[in-house]
């Protein structure tokens, strides 16, 4: 059993719904999952004691990627999170009509790699709340679980 931390940022609840879908599937796989809304999370040493950190965030930019407000604030302190050597993957909700579909996930992945995290799965990028893409959630979770 691995200890998994999930942190999400969500304005209308879509990324939050995806986070809870992932949470249920990981818990069914026997893993211990802690889910935090980035609005209530302090990044300092947050990854300590976890085997894996999953981060999810929607994008709100147009030409450029702007992270969801609460997550953007959380992300400013990500270097204090102790991600070195920690298994990491990202997920996002977005809208394909925007140029950077789910671009926040790419930002999370790049920064986490710079901080020494080990990327364990391709990012899960879904439209809306993910309820019509359960297969993609399943694939993401099984890729994550293989690495735990
Ligand atoms: C002004 C604005 C900008 C947006 N920019 C993007 C974007 O760059 N890329 C993307 O995939 N979705 C974009 N979206 C769509 C939202 O990310 C999408 O609705 C998402 O499901 C919201 O998730 P949340 O409820 O978890 O915050 C944008 C939406 C608005 C209203």
Please indicate, yes or no, if residue 52 is contained in any of the structural domains: yes
88/133 Cα distance (integer angstroms) = 22
d(CA 43, CA 57): 15
Q: Is residue 94 part of a domain?
A: yes
pLDDT value at position 62? 82
Per the domain annotation, does 61 fall within a domain? no
- Give residue-wise pLDDT tens across range 12-33: 999 999 999 999 999 999 999 9
Tell me, using a 6 A CB cutoff, whether residue 34 lines ligand 1.
no
Q: Is the C-beta atom of 12 inside 6 A of ligand 1?
A: yes
The confidence score (pLDDT) of residue 60 equals 93
CATH of the domain at 79: 3.40.50.360
Whether residue 57 contacts residue 8, with contact meaning beta carbons closer than 8 Å, is answered with yes
| Pairwise CA distance, residues 114 & 31, whole Å | 27
Give dist(CA 24, CA 55) in Å, integer: 16
Give me ligand 1 centre to Cα 33, in Å: 26
Structural domain boundaries, residue 110: 3-56+68-147
The pLDDT value given to residue 130: 94
DSSP states of 82-132: --TT-EEEEEEEE-TTSSSTTHHHHHHHHHHHHTT-EE-SPPEEEETTSTT
pLDDT, tens digit, 9 for 90 and up, residues 68-125: 999 999 999 999 999 999 999 999 999 999 999 999 999 999 999 999 999 999 999 9
| Domains of the chain: total | 1
Assess if residue 85 is contained within a domain: yes
pLDDT band for position 63 (50/70/90)? confident
Q: How many angstroms is it from 97 CA to the middle of ligand 1?
A: 9
**CA 109 / ligand 1 centre spacing (Å):** 18
107 touches 65 (CB < 8 A): yes
Length reported for the chain: 148
Mutating to test ligand 1, I would choose from 10, 58, 66 the residue with most ligand atoms within 8 A of its C-beta, which is 58
User: Does 62 map to a domain?
Assistant: no
């Amino acid at each position: 059993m691995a200890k998994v931390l999930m942190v999400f940022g969500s304005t209308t609840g879509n990324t939050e719904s995806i986070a809870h879908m992932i949470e249920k599937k990981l818990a069914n796989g026997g893993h211990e999952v802690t889910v935090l809304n980035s609005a209530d999370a302090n990044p300092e040493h947050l990854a300590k004691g976890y085997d894996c950190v999953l981060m999810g965030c929607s994008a709100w930019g147009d030409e450029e990627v702007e992270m969801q407000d609460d997550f953007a604030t959380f992300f400013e302190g990500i270097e204090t999170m102790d991600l070195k050597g920690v298994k990491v993957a990202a997920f996002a909700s977005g809208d394909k009509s925007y140029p950077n579909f789910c671009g926040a996930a790419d930002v999370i992945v790049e920064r986490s790699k710079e901080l020494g995290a080990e990327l364990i799965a391709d990012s899960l990028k879904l439209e809306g709340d993910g309820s019509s893409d359960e297969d993609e959630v399943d694939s993401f979770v099984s890729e994550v679980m293989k690495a735990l």
